[in-house]
Chain A
């Protein structure tokens, strides 16, 4: 909580002004009852209407001042809360944007989303509320206590004696509350996860008529969340009654001791009556302060979750390149005895050892889970390798600035994302590219026909590309990868939804226009990679074969099996394929 207070720092001047106005407004409001008692006690008995009018008008003026002052203060409080939240959300999103893949896995995407939304929302609410309650309540509390001190210090001490106990209880309970609310937030993540899964998997659920099962599943997480919310709230509910009880007992003590003192002649009854009135003010102030504490303990849980992200170091991001010159004649891409391991699970990829010259094509083929996508993740430095090194132009990729490194790539991932935006923006993706370049890329990616059908570059793409078919999505993604004329083109299973004809045309376009780009193509079909200069056959995280199509057909049994099953008897070999192309 304290750590997030940094965000309030820039607003201290504005907040101080707001506080002053609010304090002024509160004090003016306190003046009103004073004028009232003056009118009743002193002016009315005089029997003159003149002074009553004057003071009456003064009261109205004070009311107006309080009105304007409070509104102005509220406005400032809201503005500070707005600007502060804007900054927190901005920083949080920036941090999330630069988190390493490893950390994103640790947090999990849904949890990051809820930190970015519901947690910052709680903070927004809190910052606004605290400013509003935070001035008025302490002024009333301190003011009330000061006035009682001037009346009778001994009685005040008796009344105030209960305050430390109240403070201790409030502190203890709200500290417990922080823990409990953190548990609540976790349960809430669990509840949201089930809802998200249902939104995403609706077709499967409907197909299997599992709605009842899902309802049951939701009931469990919902009940669990409700239970935890109830526990947390029950705990916090203890504070108010205990507090008012303790203070009321203090008042009883004041009366008893006051009785003795009246009997001794050390105090008067009028003072005890005044005590009663002031006591109400003090109690109300304390209640308000407690409300703040309840809110703060909720906010503390949220701010801890936000801070956890903000405090996560950005591991992979390098701002300054670490090399001074590029070695000449180095291969464009080189994997040198690379070993890679994910944090979770035991999956390891090892034995990656190969070089690619500029313009060459690397094909990667292998069973699912063999580690094909891992090669790409390591090359683009989403994760760092455990052993060995990956070099581009002879320099270890860890010595590049990440932005420079990634700028070399045009990539389509397996199951890549389309955004709810125009087709233009989905291809361009924020890069500085002209419409002509975009259209040319779309043409090469075989996407131009359907783009024109949809209404051109300005046509909308729905959420998750829902208005496009699987093949259209893939072609749009390929257009995105081609658009920047990348140095390295990575296509991870990016044509699985394309029919062979489109796929073939696409490959021909790439061959014609991207001769200088080094290509890495992950595929299931032998036909997609059979012309590659180098083909990597992977199984269970190991490279079990490397070479050209012809070599592998000779030496690698797995490759031969795949090749024969896909291409059919007697049609094996590049000659058959090239015949069609030519």
Chain B
């Protein structure tokens, strides 16, 4: 996928800020704490100065009551300042964690709204890297840098005021150096921004690669491809660490550069200060204080420059996150879409055209009438477009042209939810999540009781197996359900579909991994369960669909033949060829 035009920094910022501003109150308290903490931190040394003044008379004349008083005052100030800074840190953690929590939730919620096509097109690893690494990067900046910037601003303003009071002429030095450091910073960051973006992208690629390779490890081992894969990883790894290095190194130019400008301004201050002194325009004491304040002044500017570097990586991470948030969701249901419940199950397809990409049309002018309660079998060579029909029936993808009707309603006028819930579906790829067996089977219907679940499991012949698991129905299926065979997983997904009392059923090569004995049992149970329901079956085992009400033979995206098993076998059909070939 090509990255689209890059986002403007301002645009990213204006989208990041609302996340913070959601906690206006907490955030204002943060600002107060920062200002308070900084003032206390400035007051401490001031009190210490007073304490030292009390010693000024020297040996034998120290005013111990004053020293004692100021010492106690300092203790109070320091304790207060520590408490404030701890409170600030805690509060910042609360805010930043909430922000991260919200962001992750937003990203996830977005994922649930995206069309199926997005997941067909994007690597899971890359999606994961957005929700973990990228958001973490944003958070690091938010929680550290925001406070830093705040306290820096307080100090800079204070120091500038003091310097202006001492010598407005000397402040002119900063008229030269401050813009210089800004220009320098801007130049460097302009140069490094693409580098940071590349770094994020490369990490996403690496994640995708690692995910693919580790998941496909069994195969790679079978062909002893360990070494080759390691070599491939090395290439990917090289690119990733190199992208990191470039961003890291060029990003770290900012700090020393700004430092240099600061040192330069110090030199200028002392030089011009000397000239002013020679012209009797300033006292030595004032030069000394001016230098102290200019250090206070430039210190935070230096900090800010460092932060700019970190913000860079935060920005490119944010860009990736927002890009995902900007993906077009599944289009909203049409205005006034009907929430169609309990349909009869009559389906009508008329003149459907469809292709996943514009350059390759997969379904050409397909028309089909499916009366309610019919068993429709779709057969045909692989790659002829059989699964595509399912994608369209369920509206995982929308047709390019033509119309699909359910009970006479064009599907575009129905809510997707009601359309999809009218189908039970068992797919080729079994899918179970990390939850209990019960949760997995009851997944489709919220109201299902334990008894309901056991009933369908018995009907599918999986009940006995489940009872042999350590915790029965409460057994937690772990990652990838590795402890359960594919066939058992499939039976569970069949049970899941069976539990959903829908009017239409879709079986996509669903029973191809179940032995025939079990399959027959399932078929019988399903037929009983589905009396008067409409059923679409994609199967290769032609023996199992001989009793279908209609068999559609799909070839190259077109329905070339249709009819019952008997009528199709009675003529010299493509179906007959297929059927006879199955026993070869």
Contact = CB atoms under 8 A, between A and B. Distances in A.
A568 B210 CA distance: 48
Contacts of B210: 93, 113, 116-117
Interface in B394-433: 394, 396, 416-417, 420-421, 423, 425, 427-429, 431, 433
A74 B270 CA distance: 29
A49 B275 contact: yes
B449 interface: no
A328 to B, nearest CB: 27
Interface in B243-276: 244-245, 248-249, 252-253, 255-257, 259-260, 263-264, 266-267, 270-271, 273-275
A543 interface: no
A52 B116 contact: no
A576 B583 contact: yes
A562 to B, nearest CB: 5
A209 interface: yes
A206 B420 contact: yes
| Residue from B75, B124, B427 with most neighbouring chain A CB atoms (10 Å) | B124
A193 interface: yes
A64 B260 contact: yes
A160 interface: no
Interface stretch (B9-17, B380-388, B525-533): B380-388
A161 interface: no
Given A229-B97, A272-B52, A471-B381, A210 B60 contact: no
A90 B517 contact: no
Contacts of B490: 368
A177 B255 CA distance: 29
Contacts of B234: 86, 90
A97 B85 contact: no
Interface in A37-85: 39-40, 43-45, 47, 49, 52-53, 56, 59-60, 62-64, 66-67, 70-71, 74-75, 78-79, 81-83, 85
Contact of B513 (A62, A241, A496, A558): A496
A85 B248 CA distance: 14
Contacts of B260: 63-64, 66-67
A414 to B, nearest CB: 6
A403 interface: yes
A44 B56 CA distance: 26
A509 interface: no
B241 A500 contact: no
A229 B284 CA distance: 52
Nearest to B60: A263
A318 B322 CA distance: 49
B383 A367 contact: no
Contact of A524 (B216, B263, B514): B514
B513 A493 contact: yes
Contacts of A29: 259, 263
A223 B101 contact: yes
Given A78-B245, A237-B93, A256-B67, A496 B540 contact: yes
B59 A262 contact: yes
B350 interface: no
A577 B583 CA distance: 5
A60 B267 contact: yes
A49 B278 contact: yes
Contact of B382 (A52, A94, A403, A471): A471
A85 to B, nearest CB: 5
Given A60-B267, A109-B480, A576-B583, A259 B55 contact: yes
Interface string A322-352: 0000000000000000000010111000000
Nearest to B226: A97
Interface stretch (B105-113, B153-161, B167-175): B105-113
B271 A53 contact: yes
B580 A36 contact: no
Nearest to A76: B249
B217 interface: yes
Contacts of A201: 431, 433
B123 A237 contact: no
Interface stretch (A4-12, A164-172, A211-219, A544-552): A211-219
Nearest to B520: A565
Nearest to B465: A369
Contacts of A97: 217, 220-221, 226, 229-230
Interface string A221-245: 0110010011001100110111011
B488 interface: yes
Nearest to A67: B260
Contacts of A104: 217
Dominant secondary structure of chain A at its interface with chain B: helix
A325 B94 CA distance: 70
A96 interface: yes
A208 B480 contact: no
A202 interface: yes
A74 B256 contact: yes
A504 B75 CA distance: 90
Nearest to B446: A213
A409 to B, nearest CB: 6
Given A207-B420, A259-B55, A463-B212, A86 B120 contact: no
A207 B425 contact: yes
A27 interface: no
Interface string B440-481: 000110000000000000000000010010000000001110
A44 B287 contact: yes
A431 B223 contact: yes
Contact of B224 (A118, A188, A406): A406
| Residue from A200, A402, A484 with most neighbouring chain B CB atoms (10 Å) | A200
Contacts of A188: 132
B180 to A, nearest CB: 13
A501 B577 CA distance: 8
A561 interface: yes
B578 interface: yes
A483 to B, nearest CB: 10
Interface string B65-79: 001101100110011
B207 to A, nearest CB: 5
B487 interface: yes
B486 interface: yes
A373 B509 contact: no
Given A218-B108, A496-B540, A78 B249 contact: yes
A52 B271 contact: yes
Contacts of B89: 237, 240-241
Nearest to B104: A222
Given A403-B224, A411-B222, A472-B383, A200 B108 contact: no
B44 A202 contact: no
Contact of B100 (A197, A199, A226, A484): A226
A258 B55 contact: yes
A214 B435 CA distance: 12
Interface string A117-149: 110010010001000100000000000000000
B78 to A, nearest CB: 4
A525 B515 CA distance: 8
Contact of A44 (B55, B238, B274): B274
B284 A44 contact: yes
B479 A193 contact: yes
B42 interface: no
| Residue from B127, B221, B583 with most neighbouring chain A CB atoms (10 Å) | B583
B221 A205 contact: no
A121 B202 CA distance: 12
B336 interface: no
Contacts of B517: 367, 558, 561-562, 565
Contacts of A83: 241
9 contacts: A83-B241, A98-B226, A113-B207, A121-B133, A198-B112, A241-B85, A251-B74, A480-B223, A507-B584
Given A234-B90, A406-B223, A504-B584, 20 more contacts: A89-B233, A105-B482, A113-B207, A195-B131, A200-B124, A203-B427, A210-B443, A226-B100, A229-B97, A237-B89, A245-B82, A255-B67, A262-B59, A419-B212, A463-B212, A469-B383, A472-B382, A472-B383, A497-B428, A580-B581
